[in-house]
Amino acid sequence: MKNFKSLIFVAFMAGLTMAGCGGSIEKAPKLPMEDFFKNPDKTAYQISPNGTYLSYMAPYEDRMNVFVQELDGDSAVRVTSETARDVAGYMWANDNRILFLKDTGGDENYSLHAVNRDGADMKALTQFDGVRTRLIDELRDIEDEVIVGLNQRDARVFDPYRLNIVTGELTMLAENPGNIQGWVTDHDGKLRVAVGIEDGVNSTLLYRDTEEDAFEVVLKTNFKNTLSPYFFTFDNEKLYAVSNLERDKEVPVIFNPKTGEVEEVLYENDEYDVSGLSYSRKRKVLTTASYTSWKRERHFFDEETEKLFNRLEQELGDYEIGIVGTDHEEEKVMIRTYSDRSMGAYYFYDSTTDELKKISDVSPWLDENIMAKTLPIKYQSRDGLTIHGYLTLPKGYTMENAKDLPVVVNPHGGPWARDSWGFNPEIQFLANRGFAVLQMNFRGSVGYGKKFWESSFKQWGLSMQDDITDGVYWLIEKGIADPDRIAIYGGSYGGYATLAGMTFTPDLYAAGVDYVGVSNLFTFLNTIPPYWEPLLDMMYEMVGHPEKDSVQLRQTSPVFHADKIQAPLFIAQGANDPRVNKDESDQMVEALKERGIEVQYMVKDNEGHGFRNEENRFDFYGAMEKFLEEHLLTEEEK
């Protein structure tokens, strides 16, 4: 869901137009659609463990593949040659061998492959029909092994295996009894913690002292009250974890698995959940806890790490800064920057010389000076909740001078996810076309605490949708939105929210774009991937039960209310989508056609839950542009 670019426009700017408030607005030049959505030249940089080589992903025959070059070299070797689909992800397993994942046509059944840094000795390690691979531990201190999870024995659950990346030999470490959702190793690579679901809705934490011992339950809670283990303390005795036990916000803690008790709260934030913990493998210290307000923020436990970030911020300015990799000695560091208006760049930092060197811009053809700013906003829901979000106005507009603009409302997917500040090619593309874009973290969005999350349960199409609607009314009341020119667009749950908006508030939207969205909550719950089945009772509690809540689910399934839709609708779907079955879109299209309602339907046979192949992205966003232009823009704005 990242990494797109554009040509740099320097001298030429579009002509001046008059804003509703009477002042002149200098508009950005209209950039080619492809500039926002084409593959980057180079991205996903990593450093080899010995610090001698750089790797990155770049296009080969329009697909993203892996390349390797010497740290100080100027030529690279392409080590993968995928032409059907992008490499889904990769990593250095040791100084010589690289692992990468790929799936088939978007089915998300990822298989793991290995290749030497010179492109030799390519081997498929976990390529089994209908089997999905998960990485459990990269085992950085063990040269030729990793630990993976495979659902080969039972499609519903993942068994952990120790995998030899040279020979391909697999050794099962434990048999999943049917309820384990995650595994945790200690710093020696020993499998010692399991996290599972019991009775469908109760979270369990299991522990063992050694791999020869049996796992025993040490903590059992309802899934709403969680303790998520991140990694062991450095003596391999206790766990660093994030927990919301007996509190609303998630906090980092030290948990004793032998007693089943939280021994220490390491940091508290009264407003936001902590969502990440980091540590130094070499120095064996906890370094940071991270959380997201409107931007990502860090709490530092370690003075050396804090000094490093201060050093980087002095030179790199106001960009968000992330450490995306180091060598084994943690002396050579790969840095990634970004902002709301830039995909940013990669930098190489050598701590032994204090040298910071720029490697590559991610989107050199997109001039950030003509991109639009993404502003944090908040408003009140009709029942008194504070809803946080983001508003992106076309270049030249501010909250003060923006009046009667065409708007695209963009609810996020998940739904138990969140929007955050940063470069989003969709948002910038729409802003470049003259649309204001409203994103909101409606109830259920993560990061705001347990109560806010729980307030979304069984509220699909109800108060969750009201939060979106209230954001639209807020924008209208501000005078920013032209009430006759508002569209709604989203993917996955955002696609559901699009259909719900079009059916339950039909007078509010002039057009809608549903991208791999749910239309029928009954069929959605019946066609989930097999590895979601252990979580089905939890989903019933969060979404609704097909029998016990059948009246509500029918009421909130847009497919049963297609007759209420008044505005044009565009639907896009991947044929191999394992999460939102193609039937979800087929049903909606059929229901609309039966009622004579205008609907445009795009299906890609080689895609799944979202379009990854470049040519398919071009088709989708090109069609969406024409659709929104036709139904929202004036002739002058076109």
Q: Which of 124, 123, 151 is nearest to 136 (CA)?
A: 151
Residue 532 DSSP one-character state: G
Q: Give the helix, strand, coil percentages of the chain, each rounded to 5.
A: 20, 35, 45
Q: What is the CA radius of gyration of the chain?
A: 25
Catalytic residue among 492, 519, 557, 585: 492
CA atoms within 13 A on the CB side of 303: 0
For 106, 124, 125, the CA distances from 111, given in Å and listed in that order, are 12, 8, 7
pLDDT of residue 17: 31
Separation between Cα atoms, residue 60 and residue 309, nearest integer Å = 35
Q: Which candidate in 243, 456, 577, 585 is catalytic?
A: 577
pLDDT of residue 94: 96
Note the helical H segments in 239-328. Answer: 303-316
HSE toward the beta carbon, residue 194, CA cutoff 13 A: 27
Q: Which of 388, 561, 609, 631 is catalytic?
A: 609
Element (H, E) at 550: helix 550-555
- Determine the pLDDT at residue 637: 85
**pTM for this one?**
0.93
The runs of H, that is alpha helices, within 291-420 are 303-316
Check residue 18 and give its pLDDT.
Answer: 30
Determine whether 86 is an active site residue. Answer: no
Beta bridge partners of 16: 26
What is the helix (H) or strand (E) element at residue 145, kind and residue range?
A: strand 145-150
pLDDT of residue 23: 52
Q: Is the CB of residue 223 less than 8 Å from the CB of residue 199? A: no
| Secondary structure element (H or E) that encloses residue 498, with its range | helix 493-504
pLDDT at 19: 34
Sheet holding 170-172, edge to edge: 133-137, 145-150, 159-164, 170-172
Q: From CA 156, how far away is CA 179, in angstroms rounded?
A: 9
> Quick one: three-class SS letters along 114-136?
EEECCCCCCEECCCCCCCCEEEE
**Rounded Cα–Cα distance for residues 270 and 268 (Å):** 6
Closest residue by Cα to residue 238 from 277, 184, 195: 184
What pLDDT is stored for residue 318 in this prediction?
85
Strand 405-409 and strand 436-441: the pairing is parallel
- Asked about 492 being catalytic, the answer comes back as yes
How are strands ordered across the β-sheet holding 97-102? 89-92, 97-102, 111-116, 123-124
Locate 233 and state its tokens: 């303390």
Measured CA angle at 295 (ends 293, 300), to 5 deg: 80
| Stretches in the chain below the pLDDT threshold 70 | 1-24
DSSP 443-470: TT-TTS-HHHHHTTTT-TTTHHHHHHHH
Q: Can 609 be counted among the known catalytic residues?
A: yes
